Amino acid sequence: MDPSTTAIEHKVHARVGLLGNPSDVYYGRTISFSLGNFWASVRLQPSDHLVISPHPTHDLVQFDSLSHLVNRLNNEGYYGGVRLLMALCKIFYNYCRDNKIDLQGGNFTISYDTNIPRQTGLSGSSAIVCAALNCLLDFYNVRHLIKVEVRPNLVLNAEKELGIVAGLQDRVAQVYGGLVYMDFSKNYMDDLGHGIYTPMEINLLPPLHLIYAENPSDSGKVHSSVRQRWLDGDKFIISSMEEVANLPLEGQAALLEKNYTKFADLMNRNFDLRRAMFGDDVLGALNLKMVEVARSVGAAAKFTGSGGAVVAFCPDGASQAKLLEDACNEAGFVIQPVKFVPSCLNELDLKTLPPQ
C-alpha cells in the first residue's frame, strides 16, 4: 500500500468529568473518563491542495428557505467544525516551527464527523480537535516528537484561538482516553505548563448512567461571577473550590478500594458545592431538574461538565437503575448506560511519557 495515498482516520470519544470539575481552571484536581457512547472522527487523505472539507450537516451553507436558515441558526448557532480544524492546523504548525520539528509531507484533505450531542457538556468540540491532532501526528510522522502531556495544551490552544473558554481537563481525558486522575496544582502549571496526569484502570469504575436532554434549551447561559470572585480573593469561593479540588483525592482512594458508597457521596458533594458557588440561575432549570430526577430515586448525580448532561450512579444496583430509567423517561430525558473505553495511547505515545 502506497503511504502517500493512504487515508488516516482517528476517533476520539466524548468525556465525562467525574469528580473535581470545575477546579481544573482553579489549580485543582479532577478525575475524568472517556465516554464510549459518543465520538468524533477525523479523516485525513493526502491530496494536491490543502482542503478543509465542510461537514454536510454541521457546516450547512445551502438551505430550503430563509426560515430554514434562521431556524437552523437558532438551534445550531453559526459555527460548525471547519473553524476547529483550521485553528488546530495553525496551532500545530506554529508549535512544530517553534520547537524545530520539521514537517515533511505534502498537502491533505481533512474532514470530520461527529455523533456527540450538541450543548450537552460532553466536549464535542475538543473531540474533533483531538482527533484531527492525531491525524496530523501520523501524517507528518511526529507522534514520537510531541509529548502526550503537551498535546492537551495544543487542543486547548486551538479552541482558545476561537474564543472558546475552557480548561485542560477535557482535553487530557480525550488525549489519554480511559480513566485519568489529574493534578493541576499551581506549581506544576507554572513549572511545566501542564498538570500531572495519572491513568487509572477503567474497570475500577462502577456502572454509571448518562442523562441528557434531547433538545437542550438555553438554560444555564447566565454569566457567572465565580471566576472574578475567585480572582478577587472571595473566601467562600476559594474555600469551596479547594474542597472541590480535594474530592478527587478522596475519590481516587475510594475507587482503588472499590468503596462505592463513599464515591456516591463525593459525586453528590461535588454538585452541591458547584450549586452553592454558581447559583441556580447560572446552572439553569433544565440542568437542575436532571440532577433532581436522579436524586429522587436515591442515585448520586452531578454534571458531566458545566451543564447539559448528568452522570448518575445507582449504589443500590439494578433495581435502582430501573427506577432511574423510569423517572428519566417520565421527565422526558434521554438516559443511557455509560459505555467505558480503555486508554487510546499506543506504544509511540507511551514512550513520550515520564516514568510513573
The H-or-E segment that residue 81 falls in is none
Helix, strand or coil, per DSSP, at residue 18: strand
| Rounded Cα gap, residues 293 and 297, in angstroms | 7
| Rounded Cα gap, residues 231 and 156, in angstroms | 21
The amino acid sitting at 7 is: A
- Tell me, yes or no, if 170 is annotated catalytic: yes
Pull the grid cell for residue 159: 479552541
The amino acid sitting at 152 is: P
Residues 6+ apart with CB under 8 A from 15: 32, 33, 34, 35, 122, 123, 127, 170, 173, 174, 304
- Measure the CA angle with vertex 276, ends 278 and 189; round to 5°: 65
> For residue 144, how many other CB atoms are within 10 A of its CB?
12
| Rounded Cα gap, residues 4 and 122, in angstroms | 35
Catalytic residue among 113, 170, 183, 349: 170
The stretches of the chain forming alpha helices (DSSP H) are 66-76, 82-98, 124-139, 151-160, 169-176, 186-192, 226-231, 235-256, 260-278, 280-283, 285-296, 318-331, 347-351
Q: Which residues are catalytic?
A: 170
